[in-house]
Amino acid sequence: MGQSITLLLLGGLMAVVVGWLLKQTMNVRPWVAQGTEDVHRDDVSPPAAKIGLWVFLAVVTSLFALFVSAYAMRMELGDWKPLPEPGLLWLNTGVLIATSVAMQWTRAAANRGHTDGVRIGLIAGGVLTFAFLAGQLVVWRQLNASGYPVVANPANAFFYLLTALHGLHLLGGLVVWGRATARLWRGIAVGEVRLSVELCTVYWHYLLLVWLVLFALLLST
């Protein structure tokens, strides 16, 4: 039963990502800059940037798919002892959902050319992301203190591995977020960071989807 649920979740994730890839590939078109004299650096060949992101997401999806498949196969063995799900994981999930909402709001503000809105949205998204990561570290400490260290059981090892892998991808996204935020606070026009904001938003939505799949997987086992 657990393996069937896992495969359904994995299939759903793959279907969503493939759908996104097809939609973005078919709808790609050159970025229309608002100015008539200069082309912003972020506006250079946006189709390549977007396609690059979707290819990267396809690779990441394959990586998570491999780990989830290994999780599903390993849990069928007799030495598998599921961990208790810390209640803090629900709060962390809510924080990550709020982060995705904040990034979507930021994207809308960027499309309207509202500099203050983009600044506020980026800061909110970054703060919430750090809060989520901090919450995940607290969960690790709680589990370790409760007698569930990483080496005690295969289920423990997979929990730490999957949550760490997800967290590392969020940290990678924060690098791009940090660059866009720094440029905006240096007085760069919104049009020059609009594409970065758009790509960051898509990336955060994707990582939220991945986390929901992982969280559902952990709850079901």
- Read off the pLDDT of residues 158-175 as tens digits, 9 standing for 90 and up: 999 999 999 999 999 999
- The secondary structure of residue 34, as a DSSP letter, is S
Kindly state whether residue 144 falls inside one of the protein's structural domains: yes
pLDDT of residue 15: 58
Q: What is the CATH number of the domain that holds 10?
A: 1.20.120.80
Q: Which pLDDT tens digit goes with each residue over 11-24?
A: 565 556 555 544 54
Encoded amino acid at 150, one letter: V
pLDDT of residue 190: 86
pLDDT of residue 141: 94
Kindly state whether residue 40 falls inside one of the protein's structural domains: no
Kindly state whether residue 126 falls inside one of the protein's structural domains: yes
Kindly state whether residue 160 falls inside one of the protein's structural domains: yes
Evaluated on CA atoms 10, 64, 205, 34, the torsion sign reads: negative
pLDDT of residue 8: 58
CA 115 – CA 189 distance, rounded (Å): 8
CA angle 94, 161, 172 (to 5 degrees): 65
Kindly state whether residue 124 falls inside one of the protein's structural domains: yes
Kindly state whether residue 37 falls inside one of the protein's structural domains: no
Task: Report, as ranges of residue numbers, the positions in the chain whose pLDDT lies below 50.
Answer: 1-2, 21-22, 24-44
Kindly state whether residue 38 falls inside one of the protein's structural domains: no
Kindly state whether residue 206 falls inside one of the protein's structural domains: yes
Encoded amino acid at 208, one letter: L
In the chain, how many domains are there? 1
Kind and range of the H or E run holding 212: helix 194-220
DSSP line for 176-190: HHHHHHHHHHTT--G
Domain span at residue 87 reads: 2-28+45-220
